[in-house]
Structure 1
């Protein structure tokens, strides 16, 4: 990954993680997952463009769901804590967004790495 690509990925991932955090402030269990899927879908499409690729919204959504599923399976305590924390007034509005940011950041960088590999051509440039 070039420095320019890293910089672009950094901006995309951080801005989408912040958007997910904002959506996870709402104290309704389960809503955070829906917000994460929408956020990850747009983030996937934006990251794809960084590497010269193009995918449909449906493909991006599938990748986002798979990535979130993998993250949730690797970090079930964080996922459960995020959703259950929403039941605690006040505290839930701090914990849920914080966990969402951590999970989306991690998932975003994994996705960026996978997309870089996927769109890298035989000569080392995006296909």
Structure 2
């Protein structure tokens, strides 16, 4: 990954992470309500990351990539169920777990693109 690609990826991933954290914080007291928003943010992030590496990633492929990280959602779901309903702390925890998950998925995907992993096969 070139320094220019890394810089572009960083901007895309951090923007998605902050957007996801905001959505998750605002909906912490409604378990699962933020999931469609977070998936939309992640799909958009994956498509944008593909563009950085010259990959034409369509929405279906991006959804498949995001779905492959579904195991990560289990831990986030447990955290949200345990404390997400608590005003204040629940919002912070929900936002934090969403941000970390999006960052993790984003950098994993960016590294895969940089290493020429072929998502279409």
Tell me the TM-score normalized by structure 2.
0.85
Please name the residue that 1:91 is paired with: 89
| Structure 1 unmatched runs, 5+ | 121-127
| Structure 2 unmatched runs, 5+ | none
The structure whose RCO (Cα within 8 Å, separation 6+) is larger is: 2
Equivalent of residue 103 in structure 1, options 86, 101, 104: 101
The CA deviation at 1:34 is 2.1
Q: Is 1:17–1:104's contact at 8 Å kept on the other side of the alignment?
A: yes
Please name the residue that 1:22 is paired with: 22
Q: Is 1:29–1:84's contact at 8 Å kept on the other side of the alignment?
A: no
The CA deviation at 1:64 is 1.2
The CA deviation at 1:24 is 0.3
SS at match of 2:115: helix
Tell me the TM-score normalized by structure 1.
0.82
Please name the residue that 1:72 is paired with: 73
SS at match of 2:22: helix
Q: Is 1:29–1:86's contact at 8 Å kept on the other side of the alignment?
A: yes
Please name the residue that 1:59 is paired with: 61
